[in-house]
Structure 1
């Protein structure tokens, strides 16, 4: 149900009030609904939010994102309460890498260095040597000794892109993000014909045929910086459409066009149903009731913390 403007503003004020009362901080991903981004203390991509989660002095962290992000915040803050507005806000990419199956693969290649994209479960992180995000993945791959073989999971598209960028051969897990695999090349090329002066920018989780036609490939933050600093005034954006809210705020005089998805939908773009499960109402309820809470076993958190710590030190 869509909120009226008055109801939205009232809820936002109530959330701000609760934040002060409870010494809470709201971390929101760029793919969240605009009304959530508007009241977040920090908005960012996975790397930026991991950093903020590690630095915060707040007693309660409300993570407006998806489950693996809230888990990461809890791993970095085991003594703090970490809340997620909707526990069902999962991730198709994280789900594509079941821990038991991945453990079996790792056992087959015991001498490989295991690099996992942060978009994975806490259990997968415990099986990792180092975690990466799309912002720092290239740097992390390049930091690994050339005489070491690498397993990269779970995103095969990001892995394939990194092999081209770094020249390293890696064993890739066969996982992908449904949102970033939903872009239609045919529709994208038709859209480009209508806007031939536009720059096509894409997230490296997208399929290779989309990346081949992109003028710029980068993380969520990378795309925002590129558009902000570019002399061009029109962009076709191939990532989750939630980014357009912050991007348009950064560049109010530039034209931003969401890349079209294969399926027809109301916004003619690609949206993450999991990210959109968090609503302003759920955020308010979550902070008011201090529930749902992310709970992880201490031993799991300790083991999963090591590869994340290595990533943050390298970044």
Structure 2
């Protein structure tokens, strides 16, 4: 028979174990609820810093979805916008996918509907449809190959030169792909991200002039991407300092840069990750107002409620998901999607 002292020690140990799981802060409670649910918390680079810091993984939407699909989590909590949570469900159909606010949409994804794509395809019946991952599941299901901003050129170049290509939905990324590939039979949907479209060339030129030694990190969805290349072409900014990059590409470049100042043209949430990646560099937004109101709908309070109440669940019709999954898998087979969007 064990002595009373052993039982007492075991009781104290159990109490301490229980106490260690009692949340003392918002972050502690989020992590404890996630542990209880066997949930993985994913945060997009454009989320508020508090959300980014508490997440198990922070990054771009496709990379996060692939991480979730490869994990052993039962529940995926996607802190991003709705199409991103849909993509996670497409790649991990057997998991429960939650989003802290089901109303967190996306102006770019909403710029083309499945019906609009069907009509466009009917006008070009032999064309290959290339859709940016920033699209709804219904649009992906009508797509031949998906792409990201980092591999869009590679995806288009994989298509026979004599085939027409319907590229959607972002007009600025499409223009970048056409410029790089020189492809004349690339038709571009005139959609845009309201945040990236609002970062204009005049702003970029003025900020570059005020910071003549700065590097430029420009997302290809930005309306100022062409202006950035013009500045380089005219010698107003050394060409090696102008970089058209996905969010993942920006992080890679941030870790390598030896410069003192970097001007960043993308949603301002990205600055948090860049500053963590390279604390000695002064990362400045080209437009300090470039904040996505949809991304910022995800708040600490809503994340906590999502975990407490297991809401809001994101569902994708199995037939739609299967067709969309094929388009995503074709993209991955062509080449690693890198830093994605």
Q: How does 1:1-315 map to 2 (within 5 A)?
A: 10-169=25-184, 170-207=186-223, 208-212=225-229, 213=231, 215-260=242-287, 268-314=288-334, 315=336
Deviating runs (4+, > 4 A) in structure 1?
none
| 1:237-257 Cα deviation digits (max 9, x unpaired) | 000000100110111111111
* TM-score of the aligned structures, taking structure 2 as reference length: 0.85
Aligned residues of 2:62 and 2:84 also touching (Cα < 8 A): no
User: How many residue pairs were aligned?
Assistant: 301
TM superposition shift of 1:305: 1.1
TM superposition shift of 1:194: 2.2
Alpha-carbon RMSD: 1.5
| 1:118-137 Cα deviation digits (max 9, x unpaired) | 00111100110011111221
Which consecutive residues of structure 2, in runs of 5 or more, have no partner in the other structure?
1-22, 233-241, 337-341
Aligned residues of 1:116 and 1:125 also touching (Cα < 8 A): yes
Counterparts of 1:232 and 1:250 in 2: how far apart (Å)? 14
| 1:227-279 Cα deviation digits (max 9, x unpaired) | 2202212111000000100110111111111012xxxxxxx331111001000
Counterparts of 1:306 and 1:187 in 2: how far apart (Å)? 40
| 1:157-195 Cα deviation digits (max 9, x unpaired) | 101101111222311111011100111332332222321
Change (3 A) 1:308 1:180: same
TM superposition shift of 1:309: 1.4
Aligned residues of 1:204 and 1:211 also touching (Cα < 8 A): no
TM superposition shift of 1:47: 3.1
Counterparts of 2:228 and 2:132 in 1: how far apart (Å)? 19
Counterparts of 1:62 and 1:217 in 2: how far apart (Å)? 30
Change (3 A) 1:311 1:209: closer
Counterparts of 1:53 and 1:110 in 2: how far apart (Å)? 36
TM superposition shift of 1:46: 2.7
Aligned residues of 2:45 and 2:60 also touching (Cα < 8 A): yes
